[in-house]
Structure 1
Amino acid sequence: MNDATLLHAIIDNAIDGIITIDRRGLIESINPSACKLFGFSPHEVIGRNISMLMPEPDHSRHDQYLQRYQATGERHIIGIGREVRGLKKDGSQFPFRLAVSEVILTDRTIYAGFINDLTREKEAEDRIKNHAAQLEELVEERTASLRKTVQALQEAKEEVSLSLEKEKELNQLKSRFVSMASHEFRTPLSSVQLSASLIEKYSAQEDSANISKHVNKIKNAVGNLTTILNDFLSLERLEAGRVEPTFTRFDLVKLAEEITEEMQLITKQNQNIIYEHTGLSSIVVLDQNLLKNCIINLIANAIKYSGENTFIEFNSEVTESQYIITISDNGIGIPEADQKHLFQPFFRAHNTGNIPGTGLGLNIVRRYAGLMNGYVQFESIINKGTKFTISFSSNDEKNVHSNY
């Protein structure tokens, strides 16, 4: 096979359309892919001006483009690397990316146009835009619904606070509160989560800043609402006496490293969680799930109440007599006047401002620690930071699960 035969074989079997024209704009050759794209056979276009394949205004202006290019050498005039539209035989149009090369032969100059069909990409882009518009409406609708729910929850919280002196009434209100929150939140949560999944599905075809914005908005809303639900459900289980610790032996360092990796994903910009362990052993005997809940809650608070570009210190220590967990931040701190109320349910310090929260997390942490025969202490200085310490006795292993 000679070079000319090989070249013709490559052009005829190319996926993209290839058309060559002379200096007057007359079509000299067209490959099968270009014929298929435009709906013409070779004999219908060869010898005719390339403008026959262009819709207005390019149809009328093409000769001017070519003349200006030949006179000035302005390569962009004939559309190198541009997205343009083609005119098919049936009168319909389609988008394509056009790249043009000037080919200088021994006796003349020709121009080769390489045509990459963008129909599928544009259709996918239009679908994504439509989905983005629909999801925008859905987000607005869900946001309005969530605002109403949050308002209802705030009113319920105030009602609970006024009833704290009557323990029996408080428990009844909490039960109703949890039932309402579960019912009102689960449906919008499911819808929002589905919306996020749909956005990710379609955004895989096209990078869209608008879709990414809504994905983050929805996921943040889901995360915040899920945290609120978990706090209320944990409180309800504690009040009902349905939380029974299961003591097992496990590796504290392994658990702590997993939590650190997980929580690092939700830190603010340039926030870093630094974990260190002290002690020759890392094996402890506690309820792993309850301990994980306590640590995550305290680290989440440290992230929430600390600024960007800060460190959160997470330390564990195993001695012959104690297991000790400490979490320290250099955030907003807790006002001294509020510290005595810190572990009360629904209480939030006065300097938390618009930072979201239920006021239940620390109450749950203390009660979970108590179920494992541990206790919680803290030190805090306003605008300097806070350090929480959870301590457990390591001497009493009588409650270890029988499988260990």
Structure 2
Amino acid sequence: MARAKILIVEDEIITAQAIAGQLKRLGYDVVDIANSGTAALAKVAQTCPDLVLMDIVLKHRDMDGIEAAEQIRNQFKIPVIYLTAHSEAATLARAKVTEPFGYIVKPFNQRDLGITIEIALYKHQTQQQLIEREEFLSTILDSTHDAVVATDATGGITYMNPIAQTITGWSSTEAMDKPVTEVVQIFDEATNTVVENPVIRLLRGEPVPNQGHNRLLIARDGTKTPIVDHVSLMRPNDDDIKGAVLVVCNISERRQAQALELERVKLATEVAERQKAEAEIRKALTTEQELSELKSRVVAMISHEYRTPLAVILTSTELLKRYSTQLSQEKQQTYLDRIQMGVKQMAQLVEEVLTFNKAQAGELQFNPEPLNMEDFCLQLVDEQRLMVGDRYTLTYNPQLSSGEAELDKQMLRHIVTNLLSNAIKYSAKGTTVSLSLRREDDTLIIQVQDQGIGIPESEQPRLFSPFFRASNVSTIAGTGMGLSIVKNCVDLHQGQIAIASEVGKGTTVTVTLPVNAKPSSGDATH
């Protein structure tokens, strides 16, 4: 991990040198020392530090530390920690306005300095990730074809995407903080009466029934648009309600198509045929609703899972773009490696989604071929080692008298890669993840073991259900598709999978496959 670079702004040279010594002993790089606000701004632009230690009172009165810190925050977005011998209320009040990341009163010891710096660096990193995630999510919401409206816990509007602004006739600026009932007005088409806004009902804790397609949204200018809507609560901590999200789909084109079809059926068929067609339509609408819900879950999953690799790619490309001439060859290669890693992670997610879709549709092709299992699994372990670097220890223990087997290569890759990535994802850094491989008669046994968070026993029977994630995963990223894919691949090999896990101690997954797998029922597809 790169050492944090720190700029010291202190007009007492002896004090500045003493602080520099403490920082070096703590393992930080001191990029320079400035004795005035103007000098500090120039050195920040020149050295691009990760953090600035700023003395509030500077003898060179071109600007004091607080003024300099404010300009550093506005221009460079770099965190600042104040160092001062003054703790007067007025000084503190001025300092707070600049949103510092720490405040240390002289004299201080090395330990306090280190703790304050680490907290500031972590807080800054977290804030930057949050900003990047919000920008990414906003881009996704702005690109969707459905209207999306978010509210606070009282029903006041906090966000509208462009489609929502178009369909309601309200700009985002005009609608901000206004009651959702004023901006999003919904009528029952059959009775021509106002429908209570589903957001308000949900925020009151009442169930929101499915109203079908007999609803109209009345825009600001009176334009009526047939819609279907879906509302859900925002619960960041699964307890406190922070607001609600209303998704509105314009079904004008669908309505027109349905009307034409119904007219054709009415003119061309008898009553019995018409009833049959209506039944099929109802079934189709149910399927559409299920697909809509699945779409929402997939969009939410992709928006969540793409944030981290996209943030890494965006940050690395921005740094290379801005500071390529100032970065060493080694540093440039590090950023290029990060970009490549992010692209691989995104490609892996796309591959996982495509495989999951084929598995759910029963379209996975089963094509067994001769494989050297020892070499094949070693390649997969090496790929994971390249991705995790030195953050984890990956061990590989093949115990095979013969490594030859006839299995589906692509499915086997899904099985081993998903199990290894899951073991790594849910384990603490510095722990060991092991893959063992052995053969018993005509059976191949693949076992992946970790020292991670484990899985609650009551939830283990649901692990292979699509999109299911255990309740103790907290904020660990994941799609809930991996084990479902693994189970499909194992079943197509006519194999078995077993999971033994204990919360806080780790998980062991054992996959048993026939050495010479054959397609079931004589068919190459499943």
TM-score range, shorter chain: 0.5 to 0.7
1:206 partnered with 2:327: yes
TM-score (norm 1): 0.53
* Aligned partners of 1:178 and 1:233 also within 8 Å: no
1:326 partnered with 2:447: yes
In the other structure, the counterpart of 1:272 is 393
Q: What SS does the aligned partner of 1:343 have? A: coil
Q: Which moved more, 1:237-246 or 1:306-315?
A: 237-246
Q: What SS does the aligned partner of 1:266 have? A: helix
Cα–Cα, structure 1 residues 179 and 354, in superposed 2: closer, same or farther, change >3 Å?
Answer: closer
2:416 aligns with one of 295, 312, 315: 295
1:170 aligns with one of 259, 276, 290: 290
The C-alpha deviation readout for 1:237-271, integer Å capped at 9, x for no partner, is 22233321211101111111111111112337552
2:135 aligns with one of 145, 149, 171: 145
Distance 1:222 1:156 in 2: 32
1:371 partnered with 2:492: yes
RMSD, matched Cα: 5.1
Report matched runs for 1:221-232 at 5 Å.
Answer: 222=343, 225-232=346-353
The C-alpha deviation readout for 1:280-321, integer Å capped at 9, x for no partner, is 110111111111121111111111111122211101123331
Shift in Å, 1:279: 2.2
* Aligned partners of 1:333 and 1:380 also within 8 Å: yes
In the other structure, the counterpart of 2:426 is 305
Distance 1:174 1:156 in 2: 17
* Aligned partners of 1:178 and 1:236 also within 8 Å: no
Distance 2:287 2:483 in 1: 20
Distance 2:481 2:135 in 1: 23
Report matched runs for 1:72-221 at 5 Å.
Answer: 143-148=133-138, 169-171=289-291, 173-174=293-294, 193=313, 196=316, 199=319, 203=324, 206-207=327-328
Task: Extract unaligned runs of 5+ from structure 2.
Answer: 1-45, 49-75, 78-124, 142-147, 149-230, 236-244, 246-285
Cα–Cα, structure 1 residues 188 and 149, in superposed 2: closer, same or farther, change >3 Å?
Answer: farther
In the other structure, the counterpart of 2:170 is none
In the other structure, the counterpart of 1:285 is 406
Q: Which has the higher contact order (CA 8 A, sep 6+)?
A: 1
1:251 partnered with 2:372: yes
The C-alpha deviation readout for 1:156-180, integer Å capped at 9, x for no partner, is 9999xxxxxx877535643676589
In the other structure, the counterpart of 2:477 is 356
Distance 1:156 1:314 in 2: 41
Q: What SS does the aligned partner of 2:366 have? A: coil
Cα–Cα, structure 1 residues 144 and 272, in superposed 2: closer, same or farther, change >3 Å?
Answer: same
Shift in Å, 1:272: 1.0
Distance 2:442 2:233 in 1: 44
Shift in Å, 1:190: 8.5
Task: Extract unaligned runs of 5+ from structure 1.
Answer: 1-124, 128-132, 160-165
2:437 aligns with one of 295, 316, 320: 316
The C-alpha deviation readout for 1:299-349, integer Å capped at 9, x for no partner, is 111111111222111011233311111100111110112112111111111
* Aligned partners of 1:231 and 1:358 also within 8 Å: no
Cα–Cα, structure 1 residues 388 and 181, in superposed 2: closer, same or farther, change >3 Å?
Answer: closer
Distance 2:499 2:443 in 1: 17
* Aligned partners of 1:149 and 1:184 also within 8 Å: no
In the other structure, the counterpart of 2:468 is 347
Distance 2:447 2:413 in 1: 13
* Aligned partners of 1:268 and 1:308 also within 8 Å: no
Distance 2:337 2:398 in 1: 34
Aligned length: 271
Q: What SS does the aligned partner of 1:378 have? A: strand
In the other structure, the counterpart of 2:116 is none
Cα–Cα, structure 1 residues 157 and 278, in superposed 2: closer, same or farther, change >3 Å?
Answer: farther
Distance 2:232 2:348 in 1: 19
* Aligned partners of 2:496 and 2:513 also within 8 Å: yes
* Aligned partners of 2:406 and 2:516 also within 8 Å: no
* Aligned partners of 1:156 and 1:177 also within 8 Å: no
* Aligned partners of 2:414 and 2:485 also within 8 Å: no
Q: Which amino acid aligns with 1:305?
A: Y
Distance 1:329 1:318 in 2: 21
Q: Which amino acid aligns with 2:492?
A: L
Cα–Cα, structure 1 residues 195 and 331, in superposed 2: closer, same or farther, change >3 Å?
Answer: closer
Shift in Å, 1:231: 3.0
Q: Which amino acid aligns with 2:290?
A: L
Shift in Å, 1:126: 9.9
Cα–Cα, structure 1 residues 197 and 371, in superposed 2: closer, same or farther, change >3 Å?
Answer: farther
* Aligned partners of 2:407 and 2:517 also within 8 Å: no
Distance 1:370 1:250 in 2: 19
Cα–Cα, structure 1 residues 150 and 235, in superposed 2: closer, same or farther, change >3 Å?
Answer: farther
Cα–Cα, structure 1 residues 375 and 308, in superposed 2: closer, same or farther, change >3 Å?
Answer: same
Distance 1:281 1:326 in 2: 17
